[in-house]
Amino acid sequence: MNARMNLFGNQTANKVIKGLVSAGTAVSATGLSAVTQELVKIRASQINGCGFCLDMHIKEAAAAGEDATRLHLIAAWREATVFTDAERAALELAEQGTRITDGAGGVTDEAWANAAKYYDEEQLIGLVSLVALINSFNRLNVMTQQPAGSYRAGQFS
């Protein structure tokens, strides 16, 4: 597959991407663990079918020491015993936040209350913002057909 456009060679795309990356830096400062952030990014990217983001975030998580079994089971997190209750709450919030139009009213009160049991207000805004950001990245990459498979961990560091 060939990309429809070179996002890294386009001035406007670079400005947009830099803004998104900057917002991601603010998310990282909320105290939300790096592991949870990667799990959320991977799950949203699975839902949205973004191969580029899956390639990136799975490789980044593996390079950071994430267990291969957990990475393989993210899509089936409800049935998997390898995730903490806090991670499950974050994954549920990520799914509902990504599938807003699939459910009446978007994120349910139950999913929000469950996440609030494990995450403080700063971490919750981090989760909400992270879901919004990864969905933005997913849409940029899917719409422009960015190919997956050649990402190297740390490539954009």
Residue 7 lies in a domain: no
* CB contact set of 101 (below 8 Å; sequence gap of 6+): none
User: For residue 136, what are the domain limits?
Assistant: 33-143
- Mean pLDDT per block of 10 residues along the chain (157 residues) reads 89 94 94 96 98 97 95 98 98 96 84 98 98 97 95 89
pLDDT at 106: 87
- Tokens 């998997």 belong to 80
pLDDT number for residue 156: 85
Please tell me the predicted confidence (pLDDT) of residue 8. Answer: 86
Classify residue 4: in a domain, yes or no.
no
What is the CA angle 85-40-101, rounded to 5?
A: 105
> Is residue 69 situated within a structural domain?
yes
Q: Which pLDDT value is given to residue 116? A: 98
Reported as type and span, the H/E element at residue 147 is: none
The number of domains in the chain is: 1
Identify whether the C-beta of residue 53 lies closer than 8 Å to the C-beta of residue 41.
Answer: yes
- Domain assignment present for 76: yes
103 in a structural domain: yes
Please state, in angstroms and rounded to a whole number, the distance separating the CA atoms of residues 35 and 156.
Answer: 18
Confidence (pTM): 0.95
Structure tokens at 144: 């422009």
**Cβ(123)–Cβ(32) below 8 Å:** yes
27 touches 126 (CB < 8 A): yes
**Are 58 and 71 spatial neighbours (Cβ–Cβ below 8 Å)?**
yes
pLDDT for res 73: 98
User: Per the domain annotation, does 81 fall within a domain?
Assistant: yes
Q: Are 54 and 45 in contact (CB under 8 A)?
A: yes
With respect to residue 18, please indicate whether it lies within any of the assigned structural domains.
no
List, as one string, the DSSP characters of 99-122.
TGGGSTTSS-HHHHHHHHHHS-HH
CATH number at 59 reads 1.20.1290.10
Residue 84 phi/psi, 5-degree rounding, is -75, 165
* In-domain check, residue 98: yes
